[in-house]
């Protein structure tokens, strides 16, 4: 009798686990669909950006991780990006199209695990979109030239702006300042 009860409990646990995982998958897919609707894939959105490519073209240009972050609005793990601890002088550009985004002069150590900047290199170099995924309301930062996802901006940065542009390293390339 004990074996039957134990077997029943195990079957119930697996049943609930499978339902929970399936429910999470459905929720994640629903969330992903609503977030991906911001991607510049419709004809209307294509006029929004100077550089427009299909997902197939982007996947041939970008690494799989870059594609996941830049085109599918993913994120890299904190404290793992190649530019997180970079202290060299230069300019950070969009890894997808080369648009200049941030100067090393505005980079600071926020302790958040991603490269952080208090202002973009120019007001028109990045765009902002509302991001309501993951149960939060945030401001997503995109490249104004190609629409690629870069990261998010928060209002807990240093003076003079009080902003913290939290950017994925894989979304960036770095052009080192040449010494004179």
Rounded distance, CA 137 to CA 78, Å?
20
Spot the catalytic one: 97, 143, 146, 166: 166
Do the beta carbons of residue 147 and residue 129 sit within 8 Å?
A: no
* Residue 171 CA to its chain's centroid (Å): 8
Look up 166 and say whether it is catalytic: yes
Whose CA is closest to 107, among 134, 89, 125, 129?
89
Q: Which of 154, 148, 88, 150 is nearest to 118 (CA)?
A: 154
Write down the residue that tokens 């004809």 correspond to.
43
Q: How far is it, in rounded angstroms, from Cα 152 to Cα 154?
A: 7
Taking every pair of C-alpha atoms in the chain, what is the biggest distance, in angstroms? 85
Q: What amino acid positions are annotated as catalytic residues?
A: 166
């Amino acid at each position: 009798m004990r074996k039957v009860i134990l077997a029943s409990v195990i079957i119930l646990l697996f049943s609930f686990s499978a339902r929970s995982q399936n429910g999470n998958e459905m929720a994640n897919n629903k969330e992903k669909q609503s977030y991906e609707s911001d991607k510049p894939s419709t004809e209307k959105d294509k006029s929004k950006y100077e550089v427009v490519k299909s997902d197939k073209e982007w996947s041939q240009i970008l690494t799989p991780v870059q594609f996941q972050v830049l085109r599918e609005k993913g994120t890299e793990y904190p404290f793992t990006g190649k530019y997180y601890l970079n202290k060299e002088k230069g300019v950070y550009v969009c890894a997808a199209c080369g648009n200049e985004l941030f100067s090393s002069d505005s980079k600071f150590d926020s302790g958040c695990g991603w490269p952080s900047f208090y202002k973009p290199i120019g007001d028109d170099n990045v765009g902002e979109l509302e991001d309501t995924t993951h149960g939060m309301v945030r401001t997503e930062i995109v490249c104004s030239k190609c629409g690629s996802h870069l990261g998010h901006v928060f209002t807990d940065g240093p003076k003079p702006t009080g902003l913290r542009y939290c950017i994925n390293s894989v979304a960036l390339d770095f052009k080192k300042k040449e010494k004179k």
